[in-house]
Amino acid sequence: MRLFMEEYAYSNALKNTSVRLKVLFVLSNVIFGVFSNSPIVPFIIFCTMVFLTIVMAKIPARDYFTWFSIPLFYAIPLFLAMIFFFGGFEPWIQFNLLGFKLMMYKDSFNNALLMVSRVLSGTSCLLFLAFTTPMAKISSALKLLKVPDIIIELSMLIYRYIFVVLDELTRMELSQRTRLGYTTFKKSLNSLSLLSTNVFIRAMNRGEKLHIAMESRCYNGKIELLDEDSIHKLTMLALITFEGLIFMVMYLTKDLRIV
Amino acid sequence: MDIIKTEGLEYAYPDGTQALKGISIAIEKGSKVALVGNNGAGKSTLFLHFNGTLRPTRGMVIIEGKPIKYDSKSLINLRTKVGMVFQDPDDQIFAPTVKQDVAFGPLNLDLPRDEVDRRVKYALKSVGMEAYADKPPHFLSGGQKKRVAIAGVLAMEPEIIVMDEPTSALDPQGSLDIIEILDELNADGKTIIFSTHDIDLAAMWANSICVLNEGKIIKHGTPDQIFADHTMISETGLRLPTFVQTFRELKVRGISGGDSPLTMLNFVESVSKPFDVLKARCTIAGADVCAGENVGLIMKNGTLCTIRVDADLNAKTTAFGRVMHNAKAGEDIVVSEITGTITPKTGEINIVPIPRIIEGGSRAVDLETIRAVIAEHSPHKIGAMGTSAKVVVRKAGIQCDFEVDVIQSSILAALRGLNVMVFATGGMIERVIQKIESNNKHSGQEIKFSSLAIQASL
Ligand SMILES: Nc1ncnc2c1ncn2[C@@H]1O[C@H](COP(=O)(O)OP(=O)(O)O)[C@@H](O)[C@H]1O
Ligand SMILES: [Mg+2]
């Protein structure tokens, strides 16, 4: 079993960049993107992120934009709705569509543009992280964010065993299917309940066995993991410069309106 | 010296199942022990006693002369000494990447960081998985996961490695790879104990076998001793190794003689003794003939057959007279009747030592030298045993004929008159020489062998 962007996360050109820097970068960009008053800043962030993901990390553009189309699916209708139906104070353009009078307001257009640019910047930030960072390295970033150890350890174990249990689940389901377990609604219910009980019991079992195996390797209650996350000075410098610039642009464009 | 000993070990699971019923065994240091028994015999339960996971209800486990103590400090000590590889690698590998998983044990020992790094590197190299260090476990195949599980245990540098069913759920190639890794570890002085219900594997590989049935030890001895006891085998619901079965069938028909064989080599020996046919094969391959020459053979019944020898010194029948068998190019020919005296000629085995991974492995070897050695001796067959030997051969772009079961295949080839060159890693050379010598003693056919030291070029 493999998970969507996993493959790229382990093989992209930016996989060795410090994950702590990446998280810091993404986090500050999300914050700047959300708090900016003009669509300029989110738009710059969006362009930067797309550039970093496609050009620097060498993620195939097709796969990238397939993922990107999901938020656009919501954002574009919302954009149109905001422009035409939310109303506003400063009328801007008016036109007739099949006998309906449609009125566009300046302020609602600005708001809609800001909303869309935020969606774009936020999505591009998260996709950047998802496409370039292996799950395995997230733990060091979580540590940086002072997440309690117990949660980090749990998330790591869950991540590992999702695949194991999912695999078991598919096999069990297939075996039920081949014995016609899902032919009627009633049978489906029955099979499904059996399946879920069984998966639960097996997961418990695995937990117990894993504990024994870990103790055999001198587990003492705390999972110590090899963390390799070296911060490159140049990358750090670039990050600070970029965030400084973004902050400046944000300040300069705080009263800017597009229309 | 006995490295592990148990005395009157009894264990009952909390639900009352009496899994072990008084087990006393002694395992010698440096040996390879196979624990065979059917499902539910108690193999896994017994293993869990070796590293103190389960505590016997009666009796005790003695490691290196000292009974196991069950306080947490002694247990940690014990577990660095006894490494346990579980049957299902998914029960053991939990970290997000291979490297992190292998590092788990050493990190628990509070070792300094560079020592952890060294051990991880060594362990991954020993199982040939260094290229997968940063991969998540669910990207790996079953055999690769198994290797990672072994690496995780190796990184603790234990003296004893206990493996529960190491080859179950693996394909034949995967099993042989694991077996070779274990062989290499054993050559490095580690004691290996594994459970299996693959009788052929136990017969071929272990130097002592312990039969377990319903929580009791039925018999413990060398493979010959175990498989000579046919009634015990059938009573415990096990079966005999394929070779032994085949041999018995041939023996009752008066075709083969001698003792019960445990390997292909023994088997071929026992079958070929009363027969000239296979010797004819030796002669053809080993006589002083050149490729392209015709060799005539006179059969017992007076017919004549001509055989053309191809580049591999295998004979191809082009024939006038009666051709007994049409062999394809590269195949051995079979001639069923022979007259006259035939003196079989055996080939030579040249052993080329390759440094172990800890001694620099493939990097300590100059590939040009390897190619030159091969060009100089132009062996008919080439074999490689051990991880770094295989890496060297692959790097030098040499086509290997034997990669598994190398010693036996080489001796069989030499008996057919072919010259063999074996690249062997570190401690495995001793084993090759031992095997050849014992074969020379038993079969009466002298195989010459020599060890070619190549210069290390660091
Ligand atoms: N956790 C357990 N609880 C109760 N009984 C068990 C447990 N594990 C194994 N057994 C029982 O102990 C006996 C020995 O099992 P095991 O050591 O797993 O055998 P093997 O590994 O040789 O197949 C079996 O009868 C089995 O049913
Ligand atoms: Mg078992």
What are the tens digits of pLDDT across the range A41-61? 999 999 999 999 999 988 888
Strand B216-221: give its sheet, edge to edge. B82-85, B160-164, B191-196, B32-36, B208-213, B216-221
Q: Which domain holds residue A94?
A: 4-133+230-252
At A193, the pLDDT band (50, 70, 90 cuts) reads: very high
For B51-108, what is each residue's pLDDT tens digit? Answer: 999 999 999 999 999 999 999 899 999 999 999 999 999 999 988 889 999 999 999 9
Residues A129 and A106 occupy one common structural domain: yes
Q: Per the CB < 8 Å rule, is A2 touching B156?
A: no
Q: DSSP secondary-structure letter at A222?
A: S
User: Does the CB of A238 have a partner CB in chain B at under 8 Å?
Assistant: no
Q: How far apart are CA B150 and CA B162, in angstroms?
A: 10
Identify whether residues A54 and A125 lie together within a single domain.
Answer: yes
Comparing CB atoms, the residue among A10, A220, A226 nearest residue B136 is A10
Residue A94, in any domain of the structure: yes
Do A212 and A241 fall within a single domain?
A: no
In a domain, A243, yes or no: yes
Contact A209 B134 (CB under 8 A): no
A204 in the same domain as A110 = no
Using a 6 Å CB cutoff, which residues line ligand 1? B 13, 15, 17, 19, 37, 39-45
Report if residue A259 sits inside a domain.
Answer: no
The sign one gets for the Cα dihedral A207, A213, A219, A222 is negative
- Mention the CATH class of domain B2-235: alpha beta
Residues B438, B440, B444, CA angle at the centre, nearest 5°?
130
User: Closest Cα to residue B402, out of B264, B273, B289, B310?
Assistant: B264
Q: Are residues A125 and A246 in the same domain?
A: yes
Q: Does residue A43 fall inside a structural domain?
A: yes
Helix A135-144 × helix A19-35 angle, to 10°: 70
My answer on whether A162 and A246 are in the same domain is no
Tokens in use for A107?
């302020």
For chain A, how many structural domains are there in total? 2
Residue B42 Cα to ligand 2 midpoint, Å, equals 7
Ligand nearest to the CA of B36: 1
**The CATH number fitting domain B348-451, selected from 1.10.3430, 3.40.1010, 1.20.1260, 3.30.2450:** 3.40.1010
Contact B100 A217 (CB under 8 A): no
Asked if A234 has any chain B CB less than 8 Å from its own CB, the reply is no
Q: How high is the ipTM of this complex?
A: 0.75
Strand partners, B450: B350
Contact B91 A213 (CB under 8 A): yes
DSSP reduced 3-state for A167: helix
Q: How confident is the prediction along chain B (458 residues), in pLDDT tens digits per residue?
A: 799 999 999 999 999 999 999 999 999 999 999 999 989 999 999 999 999 999 999 999 999 999 999 998 999 999 999 999 999 999 999 888 899 999 999 999 999 999 999 999 999 988 889 899 988 888 899 899 999 999 999 999 999 999 999 988 788 888 888 888 888 889 888 999 999 988 888 888 898 999 999 999 999 999 888 988 888 888 888 888 888 888 888 877 777 777 777 777 777 777 665 444 434 443 444 444 455 555 555 444 444 455 555 545 444 433 222 333 344 333 444 444 443 444 456 778 999 988 887 777 777 778 888 888 888 888 888 999 888 888 888 888 888 888 877 888 898 888 777 789 999 887 788 888 888 888 888 776 778 888 887 755 44
Say if A143 falls within a structural domain: no
Whether residue A202 lies within 8 A of chain B, CB to CB, comes out as no
Atom of ligand 1 nearest to the CA of B41: 22
Q: Which residues partner with B12 through β-bridges?
A: B18
C-alpha A61/C-alpha B220 separation (Å) is 64
